[in-house]
């Protein structure tokens, strides 16, 4: 998405190696993109599912979206009206890689100068009994769902401050508060994200940055194709991804008139 500027990136990389809490370097807002006359949202996990649906809905509302994922949101872009395409930019990034995350936010700062909303949505999950949960699966799940959200939040804060405040939306899960057989790693990661989000809300409120923790039940997305043995989870009974995305749009658009601090979205049938 951005013109490559290796010299700057490598200088940043060296600085980050030497100093963990390096604030993002100040940039003139005057060079912000012409798109950013309104609000700018960064969404992780934008290539498909809830992140992709949310990006599409926000762009329809005229909110510029920078979407982060390891693969591009090709399906969403294909059906997108060309007049709106310019409002959605894609950044390839693995949220588990703190340097890659820092680079993304550095480049967002260069281009837009600030952000108004961060949605920590990237997530993975797989049904496994505890004894068949490999160390790799455990680490991948925790590193994506929890540590990735920490990396993105930390990198986003200077840009939210530049906007004078903003909203962080954490997409956790009902599994954070309700035991679900076979989802121990996933549940631990989402409970961690919920606790992280609650602590963050208290820490950031005085700085005019607010946090919304979203706890969805089952949504019919590709998540279930990568979730291992999810037999018994009937996709026809799950929430539609567009419905869930539209509720998040309401949360984002109502802010800062209203801060929705925590929200649980469930299919009418319950947990399934």
What positions carry a catalytic annotation?
186
How many residues sit close enough to ligand NAP to count as binding (CB under 6 A)? Answer: 30
Comparing CB distances to ligand NAP, the nearer of 157 and 248 is 248
**Residues 145, 128: Cα–Cα separation, whole Å:** 17
Q: Which stretch binds ligand NAP (CB under 6 A): 12-20, 23-31, 216-224, 248-256?
A: 216-224
91 binds ligand NAP (CB under 6 A): no
**Residues 242, 214: Cα–Cα separation, whole Å:** 15
Maximal CA-CA distance, the chain: 55
> What Cα–Cα distance (Å) separates residue 130 from each residue in 137, 160, 182?
11, 39, 7
Q: Find out whether 133 and 181 touch, Cβ atoms under 8 Å.
A: no
50 binds ligand NAP (CB under 6 A): yes
Comparing CB distances to ligand NAP, the nearer of 36 and 44 is 44
Short-list 197, 201, 228, 47, CA closest to 126: 228
Short-list 112, 184, 109, CA closest to 145: 184
The residue from 5, 71, 134, 178 that contacts ligand NAP (CB under 6 A) is: 71
- Shortest spacing between CB 12 and ligand NAP, in angstroms: 20
**Residues 26, 169: Cα–Cα separation, whole Å:** 25
**Residues 272, 238: Cα–Cα separation, whole Å:** 8
The residue from 66, 76, 218, 249 that contacts ligand NAP (CB under 6 A) is: 218
SS3 124: coil
The residue from 101, 219, 245, 249 that contacts ligand NAP (CB under 6 A) is: 219
The residue from 40, 41, 64, 124 that contacts ligand NAP (CB under 6 A) is: 124
**Residue whose entry in the numeric block shows the structure tokens 């991948």:** 140
The residue from 88, 160, 171, 201 that contacts ligand NAP (CB under 6 A) is: 171
**Considering only residues 132-151, where is the footprint of ligand NAP by CB under 6 A?**
144, 148
- Shortest spacing between CB 76 and ligand NAP, in angstroms: 10
Comparing CB distances to ligand NAP, the nearer of 40 and 214 is 214
Comparing CB distances to ligand NAP, the nearer of 24 and 175 is 175
Could you list the residues that contact ligand NAP (CB under 6 A)?
44-51, 69-71, 94-96, 121-125, 144, 148, 171, 173, 216, 218-219, 221-223, 226
């Amino acid at each position: 998405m951005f013109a490559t500027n290796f010299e700057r990136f490598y200088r940043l990389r060296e600085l980050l190696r030497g100093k963990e809490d390096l604030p993002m370097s100040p940039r003139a807002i005057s060079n912000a993109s012409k798109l950013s006359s309104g609000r700018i949202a960064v969404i992780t996990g934008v290539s498909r599912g809830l992140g992709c649906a949310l990006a599409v809905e926000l762009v329809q509302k005229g909110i510029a979206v920078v979407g982060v994922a390891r693969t591009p949101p090709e399906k969403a872009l294909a059906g997108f009206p060309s007049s709106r395409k310019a409002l959605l930019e894609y950044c390839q990034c693995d949220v588990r890689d703190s340097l890659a995350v820092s680079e993304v936010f550095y480049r967002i700062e260069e281009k837009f100068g600030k952000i108004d909303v961060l949605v920590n949505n990237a997530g993975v999950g797989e049904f496994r009994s505890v004894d068949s949960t490999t160390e790799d699966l455990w680490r991948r799940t925790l590193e994506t769902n929890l540590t990735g959200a920490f990396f993105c939040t930390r990198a986003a804060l200077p840009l939210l401050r530049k906007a004078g405040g903003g909203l962080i939306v954490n997409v956790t899960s009902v599994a954070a508060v309700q035991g679900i057989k076979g989802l121990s790693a996933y549940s631990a990661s989402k409970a961690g994200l919920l606790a992280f989000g609650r602590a963050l809300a208290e820490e950031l409120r005085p700085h005019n940055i607010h946090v919304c923790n979203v706890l969805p039940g089952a949504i019919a997305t590709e998540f279930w194709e990568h979730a291992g043995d999810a037999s018994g989870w009937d996709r026809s009974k799950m929430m539609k991804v567009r419905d869930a995305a539209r509720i998040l749009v309401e949360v984002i658009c109502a802010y800062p008139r209203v801060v929705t601090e925590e929200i649980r979205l469930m299919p009418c049938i319950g947990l399934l």
